[in-house]
Amino acid sequence: MKKLFFLPVFLVLFLVEKANAQQSMFSVNYAVSQPTGNTADFINQTSGRGFAAEFHKFINRNIALGGEIGHVTLYKREINKVYTEGTASLSGVQYRYQQNYPIMLSGSYFAFTEGIVKPYGSLALGTVAHNRQIDMGVFESKETYWQFAIRPELGVLIAPSEYVGFKIGAKYYQSFAGGGLPGQSTLGLNFGIVFIR
């Protein structure tokens, strides 16, 4: 499992080292997430408990390669729910949690390279670890699922200075069924500060 976690990280570092360009960007983002699809069947509340860190290295004036890692916690309190495990069923108040950890490689295209406002589109591939937990009284169920995922993004980079900027991006994470868990999806909005080098 540790090899699966570190493989994308080393691949990002390798691609970044091979990309011969003059500029790179590192961003730290606050992430708001809205569960959709199968994820919303488990937890359907918007969450403001997330962050993402991204690195991009330009290979030419418009295209950058890089990666992202992040974390989002989804939470919901459910009243009068029945939880079944094996042949046992419990009824009561449930506390549901799902932590998502995306680890992805990405490619981004910047439509404009001049000016303060630079719209961009991005596509990322990688894995997402989903930690699912249900607490009910003294009983707890906890599972971790690793799934292949894809993540398109549309956003705007606002760079009022040569070295610092801000970004707003809308992301859609879609992971595919695996490990006994159906595919999961969330729609996210990221607000970040960007360090340009």
Domain ranges for the chain: 2-196
Using 70 as the pLDDT threshold, list the residues of the chain that sit under it.
1-22
* Partners of 131 in beta bridges: 99, 144
User: What pLDDT was estimated at residue 110?
Assistant: 96
User: What pLDDT was estimated at residue 9?
Assistant: 54
Q: How far apart are CA 58 and CA 78, in angstroms?
A: 46
What is the DSSP-derived secondary structure letter of residue 180? T
Burial readout 118-144 (b: 16 or more C-beta within 10 A, e: otherwise): bebebebebbbbbebebbbeeeeeeee
User: What pLDDT was estimated at residue 176?
Assistant: 98
User: What pLDDT was estimated at residue 113?
Assistant: 86
User: What pLDDT was estimated at residue 16?
Assistant: 47
Continuous segment of H or E residues that includes residue 154 = strand 139-158
How many distinct helices (H) and strands (E) make up the chain? 2, 8
Q: What CATH code is assigned to 2-196?
A: 2.40.160.20
- Other residues' Cβ atoms within 10 Å of the Cβ of residue 87: 5
Query: In which residue are the tokens 């993540």 written?
Result: 151
First CA to last CA distance, the chain: 34
Q: How far apart are CA 2 and CA 24, in angstroms?
A: 28
The pairing of strands 63-85 and 88-110 is antiparallel
User: What pLDDT was estimated at residue 4?
Assistant: 53
pTM of structure:
0.85
Q: How far apart are CA 151 and CA 40, in angstroms?
A: 18
User: What pLDDT was estimated at residue 82?
Assistant: 78
